[in-house]
Amino acid sequence: MRVLQVSAELVPYAKTGGLGDVTGALPDALRALDVDLRLLVPGYPAVCEALQQAVPLRTLSLPWGGSVRLLRGQLPGFEGRPSYVLEAPALFHRPGTPYANPDGTLFPDNFWRFAALSYAAAQLGLGWDGAWWPAVVHAHDWHTGLTPAYLTHARGQSLGTARSVFTVHNLAYQGLFPAEVYPQLGLPPDGFAMEGVEFHGQVGFMKAALHHADAITTVSPTYAKEIQTPAWGCGLDGLLRRRAAQVHGVLNGVDPRVWRPASDPHLACGYTVDDLAGKTVCKTDLQRSLGLSMQTDAPLYGVVSRLVSQKGMDLVLAGLDALLVGGAQLVVLGQGDATLEAGFEAAAQAHPARVALMRGMDEGLAHRVMAGADVVLVPSLFEPCGLTQMYALAYGSLPLVRRVGGLADTVADCSLENLVDARATGIVFERFDLVDYTQALRRVRTLWSDPAAWRRVQQVAMAQRHGWDLAAQAYAALYRSVLQ
């Protein structure tokens, strides 16, 4: 079965969050199931520099003017299968993130940048590479949302048009652009309608995908249900309810080759579920390197996250005094909202031995925080899947999460019943408010006061398996179903 995966991010070449992790890990898991999967990614500088054995395939004239070139070659890390790179220096050779300047300002031409990516994906789905023709195009998130629309409108012209699967990683980011750009897209005039690409008078990339895709997936079963409600559907819940039969929740996985404390090269000392001594070494190493007081008798809380309200970072900041009770410490790694960054910076200055802030994202340091922390905070307002809590489970760092989205699907609360049944893996709270959050912190302290119980929960957490094999099986079955 031939499948083309198209995405705006791909670890290790471009990453702003979980999207890059998912698209980087899924190909190998699918390959193990004999899925002939190839990648299409934008030609960012890191991608073009890494591409080996590059062969120019074709030059594509874009409906709105200009042209881009498609390269086929080998990307290190994905050897054994050709990858496609959309070479367009004017669109993709820029400093900053895939979407914004270094100062965080979104690129004003993101519409054209990712419309070009979608158009190229659809052309490959129409057999643009004569030597390889995908049966399914799997598009990820709003950046590729026009791909299913292009494929749908091409079916009347080509019997060999690929089917489409679209994965929603976060419905809150929809790719909305002014209506006046629609006539230049190369889509039929009647496609700009409520039953099509139009969303409240704008061009909606996400809306286009949800209307046109042959199958829709989200990154956890709970999130698949949540987005069909007015509370979490971001205005698209009605469309999603109408297409409920095509909506599937497939829980993300984590790569055990990358997130494995026994062999993690970033750690001061490896450890396993049967020998946790190395975790204490990792904690003291983290404390020492960040200038925190060297103590092991109180919990160390870790945050590895975008510093935004969606991730519950305002709760963490507002509840800082409750967190620091009893000598606890907090390590924060991330960047985002300027007000939240300033708040954590002020906390670090006020409590230099107990609070540390590292702005930005450092992969090695993220691993060290996962290993050195006793508790990892993921108190999200909403969370489509979340990978952080699964990393925390693998490293025996108990996740403190809100019962929402993928967090609800992956973390079992340390209730009395779950403790007795050896099912507890973390601390879960319900309402997104300071009272519920600080009560969860109290429950951490209660569990911490019983070292034997804490260790048992750690061991159950580390025994969980969230590899990509189950997700890959679900995706492979979905590909087969859309081909039927």
- Residues within the annotated binding site for ADP-alpha-D-glucose? 15
Alpha carbon distance 373, 370 (integer Å): 6
Enclosing H/E stretch for 40:
strand 36-42
State how far the Cα of 324 lies from the Cα of 301, in Å rounded to an integer.
9
Whole-number Cα distances in Å, 222 to 219, 225, 266: 9, 5, 33
Crossing angle of helices 434-448/451-462, nearest 10°?
Answer: 110
101, 62 Cβ separation under 8 angstroms: no
Residues 70, 87 contacting (CB under 8 angstroms):
yes
The candidate with the shortest Cα–Cα distance to 29, out of 145, 138, 164, 162, is 138
Q: State the DSSP code for 140.
A: E
- Nearest Cα residue to 22 out of 43, 7, 41: 7
Q: In what order do the strands lie in the sheet with 375-378?
A: 355-359, 329-334, 300-304, 375-378, 398-402, 427-429
- Which SS3 state, helix, strand or coil, does residue 461 take? helix
The answer to whether the peptide bond before residue 27 is cis (omega within 30 degrees of 0) is no
| Edge-to-edge strands, sheet with 198-199 | 176-178, 202-204, 198-199
CA distance 54 to 74: 7
Closest listed residue to residue 334, CA positions, set 311, 364, 376, 306: 306
Residue 37's Cα: distance from chain center in Å? 20
Query: What are the binding residues?
Result: 15
Judge contact between 166 and 143, C-beta under 8 A: no
Range list of β-strands (E), 96-230: 136-140, 163-168, 176-178, 198-199, 202-204, 215-218
Q: Alpha helices, DSSP H only, in 331-449?
A: 338-350, 363-372, 388-394, 405-410, 416-420, 434-448
Q: Which residues pair with 401 in a beta bridge?
A: 378, 428
